[in-house]
Amino acid sequence: MRASNWMWMTLWLSACDPAPSGGDSSQMCDTGMEPAGPAERDWWDLGMADPVLNEVALYYLGQAWMGATDVSEVLETLTRVDPADERGWTAAFQQTSRRLRALAEASEEGGHPLTAATAYQRAATYLRAALHRHPDPWDPEVAALAAEAVDLHARYLLLSNSPCAPVAIPYESTTLPGYFCRAHEAEGAQPTLIFHEGKDGWAEDGKFVVDAAMARGYNVLLFDGPGMGKTIRLQGLPFRHDWEAVVAPVVDFLEDMPEVDPARLGLFGVSLGGYLAPRAAAHEHRLAVLVANPGVLDWGAAIRAELALIDPGLPDLYASDPGAFDAAITQIMEHSNFVRWGIHDAYWHHGVDSPSAFIAEVDRFRLGDSAADIRARTLVFDAEAEGRGQAAELYAALTCPKDYLRFTAEEAAQFHVQPGATAMLTHRLFDWLDDNL
């Protein structure tokens, strides 16, 4: 759920007949991804009509591992999502957030700061969840809800005696928002793990990394780079392919901190971060270790392959006639609210305004020969049902010390970035970090 939703759209459309003229543009198609009958349902099938939201729902269920959600609250919220309403997902999770906020405020006023903190944390998570599928990313409401989510999280940090504190990292003519987290009992300079998400995640979603790191005496720096979380919603900064320009200022920031051992810095990126973090490490050689989940070598090539699932001729049409390509994609968007939302969301994250501009932009997201310039010891994660990464290809291209780990269905961790399997993810991740950082 943190990577591009383009693949899900292509799979959805490839199984659909074109909508008849004047037909219902919100009608769902038979893709084979719809919920099966009760006797046939797999453990991960939550019954959502929308396959993307099924995966996103599993992700928010998984956040119960670190107390950022509760299982019953997520499941109850899903029952109120109206699939016929473009705002159905947003409205349901916004309502849950409001309820938890009121509960937190009552506890805080009653002199119960710790219980208030846990409710504020969940209220913040549910508001971020509401924004996960907002129908219009340019709506002023998006910035307002994002600011509220940040405020709720700040109340959680304050009342919980959290090891994390907000930081502003100097970046070009502005700053990037983040959190520096230090174990309460740690003394002296410690190893530090830098963590960032991909397209859909926020720095606040990295609490699973923080919890595990604090127990082991690591520092953690969580941050939202351009295109992510708070940065895209409150500052309007889209993604950039040259991620070393983002990570270098982060490393500069950390090197000035006496709590940080500059010889023991790690970088962990997930989803689209599986391209961004290796790209940064190819140029930023102050990193001791790198983790990519999953590995991505050439995101543009992955997007082109997904286009071919809609129509094998689309990649060639883009190459020969970008205007005709735009017209073809626009026609597809007219038949589905789901597809229209996904493509507009991609425009917003990348600062473009047409299908051809989006393809031209993601074509820049390729490592190429620079994969051989990575010096940090690298862990490349893969998964049996991973449909978005290129982990094996990235691993093969690396010339640095490297390790490869593939999550399996037996572990119930076979999907992209292991939604709902946070325990297994942290288990594998921190065993490796303990040995290498």
Q: What is the DSSP string of 43-65?
A: TT----SSHHHHHHHHHHHHGGG
- Quick one: pLDDT at residue 138? 96
Please give the structure tokens belonging to residue 90.
Answer: 């947003």
pLDDT tens digits for range 125-144: 999 999 999 999 999 999 99
* The residue type at 46: L
Half-sphere exposure at residue 247, Cβ-oriented, CA atoms within 13 angstroms: 29
| CA distances for 346 relative to 90, 271, 395, angstroms | 18, 15, 27
- Quick one: pLDDT at residue 27? 37
- Quick one: pLDDT at residue 39? 56
In sequence order, what are the residues at sequence separation of 6 or more whose Cβ sits closer than 8 angstroms to the Cβ of residue 409?
384, 385
**Can you tell me whether residue 303 is helix, strand or coil?**
helix
- Quick one: pLDDT at residue 290? 98
- Quick one: pLDDT at residue 303? 87
- Quick one: pLDDT at residue 176? 98
How many residues belong to the chain? 437
| CA distances for 107 relative to 78, 103, 391, angstroms | 26, 6, 46
Residue where the block lists tokens 């889209």: 238
* Cα 144 versus chain centre, distance: 20
- Quick one: pLDDT at residue 22? 35
Residue where the block lists tokens 């994002």: 146
> Within the chain, which residues score under 70 in pLDDT?
1-39
Q: Are 281 and 287 in contact (CB under 8 A)?
A: yes
Alpha carbons 171 and 177: distance in angstroms, whole number: 10
**Can you tell me whether residue 431 is helix, strand or coil?**
helix
Start-to-end CA distance of the chain, whole Å, equals: 28
- Quick one: pLDDT at residue 12? 40
